[in-house]
Amino acid sequence: MIGVLEAFLVFALIVALSVAVSVRFQLASGAAPLAVLCGSVLWYTLAACAGLLFPAAVVWIAAAAAAGGWAFWRRDQVKKAQLFSPSFVFFLLAGAAIILLLGIRQPLFMEWDEFSFWGIAPKVVKETNMLYVEADTEMRVITYAPGLVLLSHLFEFVGAGFAPWKVYAAYDILMFAIFAAALSSCEKKHWHIAVMGGPIMVLLPYLMTVYIRNVYVETVYISSYADIPMGLLFGVPLALYFTQREKGAPVLLTACSAIAMTCLSKEMGLALALIAAAIIAFDVLFVNRSEIRIGKLPALPSRLIWCAALGASAVVPYTGWAQYRSSVTGASVTELGGSQNMQMFEMLFTGIKELLGIGRTERFSRVMSQMWQAFYSTSLSEFSVGNPSGGIGKYFNGSGLIIVLVILAVLALAFWYADKAYRPAVAWFTLWSSLGFAAFYIFTGFTYIYIFHEWQEMTDYNRYIYPYYLGWMLAAVAVLCFVLRGARGKVVASGGLAVLMLFCVWRTSALVPANLSVVDYPESYFAGRREKIKEIEEVKALLTPEDKVFYVAMGDDGKGWFTTYYEAYPDLILDYSFGGGTLTAAVEESLFVDENELGIEKYYAAQNLAWDEKTQMGFAVPGILAMPDDFTEEQKEYYTTHGLTPDVLCKYLRDTQCTALYLDTIDPAFEAAYGSLFTDGLKSGAMVYRIEDNGKEMRFVPVEKGEKSA
């Protein structure tokens, strides 16, 4: 319960800052939380890159408390009707509800990427008060953008220990701030519009990611992945800008901060941020000519300055993070890595050239054909009806094409019922957002061709594409809600919005049962994780913080190591253990002969295994990615050219100065290969073994309960 109170304290500070920002800068109260959260993340990012994260957090708390005091002191200036708008009330109620729900249930990280980055990174930041890029850890991924990690630090900073549920709460509160900003044009007299538009927005993460009836827990609103927040962050500057009658500095600065936050959420955010910035800049420069001013500057210079600011909001955070990351890790600022190790502009130039038919390769043609086919045939959303194999379901299948048609229908309805002055803005937004989608879709195809390996083509297609759909639909619904405030033929336009809302509620309730959602997921979903946490706590009790532990999990795909490292950090030092603890061994020589009897040498070379004559067994040869970062080139060459025989394993343990082993999972092959090194012959059932080494011979001694590894 203490953690819940800590989260409520941070939430109260966010609300206090939001009230102060709304009153002081005349920003719509529903948009103020978005401005506060994005501004806070930018502040934390600058401070963290300068090595000042702890003082920055203290300053933030002091500033928020001071803002709350100022707002109370100037309470006579607060117009209650403006402050307690439908969108701001939604933010207050939704934020409080999610803190209470998650704080009581306390969900845990479950997904692979949460243990490899999105969950472990905020834990490292919490424990060290520095960016994960600089921290001394065994994290295998340290170059991802820090925006969402530092967002979670807003909540994690207040409190003694790290709590996974606070990460989820931070993400959810950001999404609620996005929805509130998108509906911020709805005033007190527009509650009926907000009641229809709000549910659509809240259900958007389900609408764009769920396409079949769930039989497992749906992790929307209990996930630390960046894709959904990134998509919504892309859409909210568009939703905010195009739904405000007064497009002054407060609105544009909030849009700029959201664009910058989009870049800092994930590397793919750069493409989305550039599209959002370009769409708004076009409207600033060519459509709303008389509204955008800076002080006494003439209209044209003012518009040009704002266009430059919008572009800088997309480019500066991306390049700044790349420069910082390069200075710490030595990674290239411009190279994208992957299969062809191209630079960004090189990839774009090559892709456009092949798109125009110049030097087109077979792989380009194949991937782009797959992308086109996936657009109309791959189900990825709830916008589907009936059986996809026949009837209407064959065409209304929840594919990207159907999503685009729904979005265009919403925008067409908004255009038809918009007043004359607003119609050009809706028309241009529809055109440029459609072209932006085409550009983003093609760009995603380029990444599959030039960054991904061939065997990875079309991997996670849904997850890479739906961020654009999320943001686009968010903006389209916001525009329609804005139009409904004074629409001609309100009954028809409102009816269209109501039908969309009812469809969204129906499809979500049909595909995502309440007992498989954030609302009421079964506790059994986390039962396995809680058992694992208990086991790792027992392992910690047998070891000391000075121990360096070699991890063994035979047959595991690597997730076990990442999970264990997350749980053990920072109490234990867990060695990467040759890429996750699977020491593949083959007992029979016959296993090295393939069905065509190519012979042992060719077969073990293909399988990255080596036959050892001394033990008459086959052993894995580690890859270069499994090597510790501090190994010399000679050490890396040695271990990537030798099978992991008992002698080689002992040499590795000496070189890495490991002091203990944690046997998570072993199998008969492991027992046959390495059992002679264990004093109990692996018969005692112990999980933890102390490494005893006299320089000539190494033995592994079981550590019993109540005994500490020396």
SS3 state of residue 115: helix
Q: Give the pLDDT mean for 8-14.
A: 97
Q: Give the pLDDT mean for 312-316.
A: 97
* 151 within 8 A of 172, measured Cβ to Cβ: no
Pairing status of strand 660-665 against strand 548-553: parallel
Q: Residue 285's Cα: distance from chain center in Å?
A: 33
Helix (H) or strand (E) holding 434: helix 423-450
Judge whether residue 338 has pLDDT over 80.
no
Dump the DSSP string for 228-272.
Answer: HHHHHHHHHHHHHHTT-S---HHHHHHHHHHHHHHHHH-TTHHHH
Q: Give the pLDDT mean for 281-291.
A: 85
The β-bridge partners of 618 are: 586, 611
Q: Of all residues in the chain, what percent carry a pLDDT higher than 90?
A: 69
Entry pTM: 0.93
Residues in the chain: 710
> Between 347 and 330, whose confidence is greater?
347
- Weakest mean pLDDT among 34-48, 573-587, 600-614: 600-614
Distance CA 526, CA 541 (A): 23
Judge whether residue 390 has pLDDT over 70.
no
Dump the DSSP string for 607-646.
Answer: TTEEEETTTTEEEE---GGGS-TT--HHHHHHHTSS---H
* Residue 623: per-residue pLDDT: 79
Distance CA 67, CA 60 (A): 10
Other Cβ atoms within 10 Å of 50 Cβ, number: 11
- Give the type of residue at 425: A
* Residue 456: per-residue pLDDT: 80
Helix (H) or strand (E) holding 306: helix 299-329
Dump pLDDT digits (tens) for 194-236.
999 999 999 999 999 998 888 889 999 999 999 999 999 999 9
Distance CA 608, CA 629 (A): 21
Judge whether residue 606 has pLDDT over 60.
no
Distance CA 545, CA 535 (A): 17
Distance CA 88, CA 329 (A): 42
Question: Which residue shows structure tokens 């059992």?
Answer: 675
* Residue 603: per-residue pLDDT: 39
- Burial class of residue 213, CB neighbours in 10 A (0-12, 13-18, 19+): exposed
Judge whether residue 61 has pLDDT over 60.
yes
* Residue 210: per-residue pLDDT: 92
* 186 within 8 A of 477, measured Cβ to Cβ: no
Distance CA 57, CA 153 (A): 9
Q: Residue 153's Cα: distance from chain center in Å?
A: 15
Distance CA 482, CA 494 (A): 11
Q: Which alpha helices (DSSP H) does 378-422 contain, by range? A: 400-417
Strands (E), 482-633: 548-553, 573-574, 585-586, 609-612, 617-620
Dump pLDDT digits (tens) for 354-376.
999 999 999 999 999 999 999 99
Q: Give the pLDDT mean for 438-448.
A: 95
Judge whether residue 489 has pLDDT over 70.
no
Judge whether residue 520 has pLDDT over 70.
yes
| SS percent in the chain: helix, strand, coil, step 5 | 60, 5, 30
DSSP 8-state symbol, 443: H
Distance CA 416, CA 338 (A): 46
Judge whether residue 104 has pLDDT over 90.
yes
* Residue 598: per-residue pLDDT: 38
* 227 within 8 A of 492, measured Cβ to Cβ: no
Distance CA 472, CA 466 (A): 10
Average pLDDT, the chain: 89
Judge whether residue 472 has pLDDT over 80.
yes
Write phi, then psi, for 682 (nearest 5 degrees). Answer: 60, 30
Dump pLDDT digits (tens) for 172-187.
999 999 999 999 999 8
* 551 within 8 A of 582, measured Cβ to Cβ: no
Helix (H) or strand (E) holding 660: strand 660-665
Angle, helix 400-417 to helix 490-511, in steps of 10 degrees: 160
Q: Give the pLDDT mean for 391-416.
A: 91
* Residue 233: per-residue pLDDT: 99
* 632 within 8 A of 640, measured Cβ to Cβ: no
Give the closest residue to 573 by CA, choosing from 642, 502, 657, 448: 657
pLDDT-derived band at 592 (thresholds 50, 70, 90) equals very low
